[in-house]
Amino acid sequence: MRKNPPKKFKKTKHKIAQDSGASVTPTQKAILDTLKYRQIFDCPMLYHQIWSYLISSKPVSEKDFKTSLNDLVEDKKVLCKDAWYSLNKVDYERVEKRKKHAEKLIVQANGVVKYLKHLPWLEMMAVTGSVAAFNADEQSDIDLLIVTKPQRLFLSRLFVVLILKLLGVYWYSQKPAGTICPNILLTSDNLAWDEKNRNIYVANEISLLYPLFSHHNCYFDFLKHNAWVTHYLTNLHIPDYKSQPPAKSDFLGKLTDLIELAVMKIQMLYMKNKKTTEIVSKNLVHFNTHDSASVILNKFEMR
């Protein structure tokens, strides 16, 4: 698969390196960038996490990585406590509390998914955001990315929303804590992320996906179609495998196509006057009312 060249990172000065008056190597800069990014979310990192999610467009040897990290700790540019690495002091009780709350929300999501995964048009359902990163607070909701079969997105969304509402867990803006928000839906023939929206933020979100179920290797197919993330996260492993061919459409399938078209038109008409920054098309629905990507990327560049 042809990979698009990575977007160049903006050159930013690291306060921690600047204050010390010392220069850093490319590998040290990658480590600092990685910790700096997670610092936005108040997340310290373990050794294997820094290695796995290292923000770098070029390969780094593990020997160089280990030496560079140790040097940064010795130079007091990186803090290390109980195997956790960070750029500043961290409230570890808070970190553990958020981790446990995220685990609780994932258990809750699995309890709901057992009803959803039997819908015939769903290919994959995965948790995203703070819950997938095991960094959820008491006000966190459960964001879901859902992949459907081609030409079944709006039928799938209709039934997913109905089931979530019947179970009393559908997202509610006035009281979002613990609710489920299916905010990204895409079809299995449209898995590659839009090129103009590819960045460090999206790469990290994809790398942290927590699959709740996946049919026909859909999760791995999603990663394969988004292998561009390795231009930002050089150590991320994308499994190599053969995609399963889609099932052929029959008469019943063609009839369902017509129902899908009608349901799509009704939902689009309903959304028309309420639409702000949301993306709605026949093979993608992305409710991004609050543009987290821009906020996070701005914070990352400013640090």
Count the helices and strands in the chain (H runs, E runs).
11, 9
pLDDT in the model for residue 250? 57
Q: Are strands 142-148 and 180-187 parallel, antiparallel or unpaired?
A: parallel
User: Which pLDDT score, from 0 to 100, does residue 2 have?
Assistant: 41
So what's the pLDDT on residue 240?
Answer: 80
Q: At 276, which amino acid appears? A: T
15-90 maps to CATH 2.120.10.90: no
Instruction: Assign a CATH topology to domain 101-302.
Output: Beta Polymerase; domain 2 (3.30.460)
pTM here is 0.87
pLDDT at 246: 60
Give me the residue spans of the domains in the chain. Answer: 15-90, 101-302
Q: What is the pLDDT of residue 273?
A: 75
Among candidate residues 148, 156, 173, the one with its CA nearest the CA of residue 290: 173
pLDDT per residue of the chain (303 residues) written in tens, 0 to 9: 444 444 444 444 334 333 434 589 999 999 999 999 999 999 999 999 999 999 999 999 999 999 999 999 999 999 999 999 999 999 999 999 999 999 999 999 999 999 999 899 999 999 999 999 999 999 999 999 999 999 999 999 999 999 999 999 999 877 889 999 999 999 999 999 999 999 999 999 999 999 999 999 999 999 999 999 999 999 999 888 777 666 655 557 889 999 999 999 999 988 877 777 788 999 999 987 667 888 999 999 886
- Measured distance CA(168)–CA(36) in Å, rounded: 38
Contact (Cβ atoms closer than 8 angstroms) between residue 69 and residue 50: yes
Chain center to CA of 256: 31
Q: CA-CA distance, 143 to 180, in Å (whole number)?
A: 6
pLDDT of the residue at 251: 59
> Encoding tokens for residue 213?
């179920």
Residue 105, pLDDT score: 97
